[in-house]
Structure 1
């Protein structure tokens, strides 16, 4: 269900980025920036009080990394969606963030409209995934036994994402709604997170 108002907290050590994003979010209809933080350590002291709908998390943070921060946020407040802020060259870190429970990722420098749409989409059950990340996800499920394997339909969606197909193209090919494709991707992320926790328990 779409939320009428979406609250956001930003975690980024670049003060200019925080200011730019907070102004952008506060100027958008149905969005508000509750807080900005320069590191995970400070943010974790306030998120329990602020309870944002979404945390925008920089991957490359000083001290505790964005991946570590995501793990803690999702363990303490599973209802909070975490979206990673990343550069083009950080596929491995993005993948580890998704394994830690992030709901998606945004490229730094993406158009403002794309960022705002992504915040709304993630609160509506969406979860972005590009071709490179889809390949890493597929490989993870292929080589490791998991407690919750992908269904046939989820595998079909993932295979098409690996080929670079858009959500709409996948929907057309599988004769389903675009929202159904997003639902399957969200489930894939959820199972990736479960698999990661399962592996950690075995160590």
Structure 2
């Protein structure tokens, strides 16, 4: 059962999200909140697998909330859920450790699949957002160092950047999910990052892949 905490300041939308997620097979709502003022305490209490996070909330922005959730437990996945598609907010979220970025206009068709993907280790993004990330990083200068990333680790990073889940990577590379996790843990250590989205962002930005 995937436990999801919802942060959304619009009461009607928050209620709809609770219904959609709570009635979906394999999901349960761990908590639903109108702001992130107590997000760290709530994350410790609710122990969600995934946090669905709005950006524009009163009192504390969703971007700040991402960092606070990751400080509680880096393994809690955070899927941003927002109307904003501008570069400034997008990259601020990724830099803070967000694991995925879904536009609200894609909620009806992509939300449940995005939640499943992010909890399995993928980095789901709305199609237009994914294109923007790739285009932005591909126009940056080459890296001056490789961080000791091996060819096998490069392969895994490339698959992760394409949105493959741990299970899909394992099948493609003929290795177990646990081996995938071990490789990615080594990659995170070498790149000095804490999650898959940060690793992909840094690898693309510095032309490691």
TM, length-normalised to structure 2: 0.68
Matched, 1:123 2:131: no
Partner of residue 82 from structure 2, selected from 59, 73, 86: 86
Secondary structure, in 3 states, of the residue corresponding to 2:57?
coil
Aligned residue runs from structure 1 range 101-180, under 5 A: 101-129=97-125, 130-138=130-138, 142=142, 152-153=154-155, 177=172
* Alpha-carbon separation, structure 2, partners of 1:90 and 1:39: 22
What number of residue pairs does the alignment pair up? 176
* Alpha-carbon separation, structure 2, partners of 1:139 and 1:188: 21
Partner of residue 61 from structure 1, selected from 57, 60, 83: 57
Unaligned runs of 5+ in 2: 189-194, 204-209
Structure 1 segments of 4 or more deviating over 4 A?
137-152, 154-159, 192-195
Shift in CA distance, 118/41, structure 1 to aligned 2, threshold 3 Å: same
Unaligned runs of 5+ in 1: 196-203
Shift in CA distance, 178/38, structure 1 to aligned 2, threshold 3 Å: farther
Q: Once structures 1 and 2 are overlaid, which stretch shifts more, 51-60 or 40-49?
A: 40-49
> What RMSD, in angstroms, separates the aligned Cα atoms of the two structures?
3.6
Q: What is the deviation of 1:152?
A: 4.3
Q: What is the deviation of 1:147?
A: 6.0
Shift in CA distance, 178/83, structure 1 to aligned 2, threshold 3 Å: farther
* Alpha-carbon separation, structure 2, partners of 1:128 and 1:67: 17
TM, length-normalised to structure 1: 0.70
